[in-house]
Chain A
Amino acid sequence: MDRRLTKGNIALAEGAIQAHCRYYFGYPITPQNDIPEYLSRNLPKVGGVFIPAESEIASINMVMGAAASGKRAMTSSSGPGISLMQEALSYMAGSDIPCVVVNIMRSGPGLGGIAPTQGDYSQAVHGGGHGDYHSIVLAPASVQEMFDLTIKAFELADTYRNPAMIIADAMIGQFQEPCRLTPREPVVVPDKPWALTGCKGRAPQLLKSLYLADGEQEAHNLVMKQKYDIIRDREVMYETRHLEDAELMIVAFGTPARIAKTAIENLRARGIRAGLLRPISLFPFPVHQVHDFSIRIKKILVVEMNTGQMLRDVQISAHRDSRIFFYGRPGGGVPYPDDIEAQVVAALEEA
Chain B
Amino acid sequence: MNRIFQRPASLLDRPTHFCPGCTHGIAHRLIAEAIDELGIRERTIGIPGVGCCVFLYHYFPIDVLEAPHGRAPACATGMKRAQPDKIIFAYQGDGDMAAIGTSEVIHAANRGENVTVFYINNSVYGMTGGQMAPTTLLGQQTTTSPYGRDFKSEGYPIRMAEMLATLEGVCYSTRVALHTPRHVNQARKAVIKALEMQNAEMGFSVVEMLSTCNTNWRVTPLEAIDMIENEMIPYYPLGVFKERTGKDFL
Contacts and interface: CB of A to CB of B under 8 A. Distances in A.
- Determine whether A and B are in direct contact in the complex, meaning some CB atoms lie less than 8 angstroms apart: yes
A86 to B, nearest CB: 11
Given A196-B45, A198-B43, A64 B75 contact: yes
B192 interface: no
Contact of B68 (A55, A88, A198): A88
B60 to A, nearest CB: 8
Given A61-B74, A196-B65, A206-B66, A66 B79 contact: yes
Contacts of A88: 68, 71
Interface in A67-107: 67-71, 73, 87-88, 91, 95
A87 B69 CA distance: 9
Contacts of B62: 198-199, 204
A207 B61 CA distance: 14
A205 interface: yes
A57 interface: yes
A62 B81 CA distance: 9
Give the size category of B's interface with A.
20 to 34
Contact of A65 (B60, B65, B111): B65
Interface string B99-119: 000011011000100000000
Given A87-B68, A88-B71, A210-B54, A57 B104 contact: yes
Contacts of A57: 71, 74, 103-104
B43 to A, nearest CB: 4
Given A23-B81, A49-B82, A66-B82, A210 B103 contact: no
B78 A66 contact: yes
A258 B78 CA distance: 38
B44 interface: yes
B42 A64 contact: no
A243 interface: no
B66 A65 contact: no
B179 interface: no
Contact of A63 (B57, B78, B104, B107): B78
Nearest to A48: B81
A209 interface: yes
A250 B146 CA distance: 61
A351 to B, nearest CB: 54
Give the size category of A's interface with B.
35 or more
Nearest to A50: B81
Contacts of B68: 61, 64, 87-88, 91
A53 interface: yes
A55 B103 contact: yes
A233 B111 CA distance: 45
B86 interface: yes
A23 B84 CA distance: 13
B104 A69 contact: no
Contacts of B103: 54-55, 57-58
A197 interface: yes
A284 to B, nearest CB: 27
B63 A198 contact: yes
Interface in B154-190: none
A16 B62 CA distance: 31
B74 A68 contact: no
A50 B178 CA distance: 39
16 contacts: A25-B78, A54-B103, A54-B107, A58-B71, A58-B103, A58-B104, A64-B65, A65-B78, A69-B79, A73-B82, A204-B60, A204-B62, A206-B64, A206-B65, A208-B66, A210-B54
Given A23-B81, A55-B103, A58-B74, 14 more contacts: A49-B82, A57-B74, A58-B103, A63-B78, A64-B74, A65-B79, A68-B75, A69-B83, A91-B68, A197-B86, A198-B42, A198-B45, A206-B63, A208-B64
